[in-house]
Amino acid sequence: MFLLDLFFPNRCVECNRIIPSEEVVCELCFDQILFTHHQFSARNLLSEKCRLLFPVQNAFALMQFEEESTSQKIIHQLKYGSRKKIGKMLANWTLEKLDLNQNKPDLLVTVPLHQKKLKERGYNQLHLFANTLSETLQIPCDHHLIKRNFYKKAQAKKNRDQRIFNENLFSITRKITNQHVLLIDDVFTTGNTMSAVAWEILKAGDNNVSVLVMAMD
């Protein structure tokens, strides 16, 4: 490990400065990250966007996601740079800012990858993130409640075709009722993926859905 650090030192994803092996950004670049300062139990931009698509109880985004931003580079390294330990770092940042005292969920659920995509990447970028939250908050986590049915996004030419595809994109693997589910994903963009998963949970029983994402576009 010492030789690897010597010849291939860990560098800040933003400025390329050499940093400790467990870090992803230097202190100076950390101060440039656009954190949202959302309150989980209060209305915010993410909860308003979710409410246009499905009934959401609470919502929280850790960071803002913009082109060429530090947050984009961090999540890109997590998803495509084989640096899954970044998930734990993001979870720790989230724990510093997320207050669940008033509305603690019963279950954490991650948005799944298709099995083919999981095999290609080698890991789901959400698992270590969610597991860290689960362990610290003492909330059970289920990575298998939701199944992704398709490998690629449908190339729908019509709105109706896209709606039908979204309705069948995911399926639920077991019955759950009377649960407050915290649904976890990396980036909230259009909200179509989150909405498709949320409706599967809502249709399964008398459940409530809240949302937690690493970043929102």
CA angle 82, 173, 138 (to 5 degrees): 65
Reported pTM: 0.89
Amino acid 174: pLDDT = 93
CA 85 – CA 89 distance, rounded (Å): 7
Amino acid 22: pLDDT = 84
Which CATH architecture fits 35-63+102-216? 3-Layer(aba) Sandwich (3.40)
Residue type present at position 200: E
Give per-residue pLDDT as tens, 127-169.
Answer: 999 999 999 999 999 999 999 998 765 444 445 555 555 668 8
Cβ-contact 11, 77 below 8 angstroms: no
CA 163 – CA 122 distance, rounded (Å): 30
Q: Which two tokens stand for residue 5?
A: 């650090």
Amino acid 101: pLDDT = 78
Amino acid 91: pLDDT = 97
Instruction: Going from the first residue of the chain to its last (217 residues), give the mean pLDDT of each consecutive group of 10, the final group possibly shorter.
Output: 60 93 91 93 95 97 93 94 92 94 92 89 93 96 94 51 65 95 97 95 94 96
Amino acid 150: pLDDT = 84
Burial, 78: exposed, middle or buried (Cβ in 10 Å; 0-12, 13-18, 19+)? buried
Strand (E) positions, 75-201?
A: 107-110, 141-142, 146-148, 170-172, 180-188
Give per-residue pLDDT as tens, 16-26.
Answer: 999 998 899 99
User: In the chain, where are the structural domains located?
Assistant: 35-63+102-216
Amino acid 6: pLDDT = 52
Q: What is each CA distance from 166 to 36, 68, 108, 151, 172, in whole angstroms? A: 28, 29, 22, 13, 14
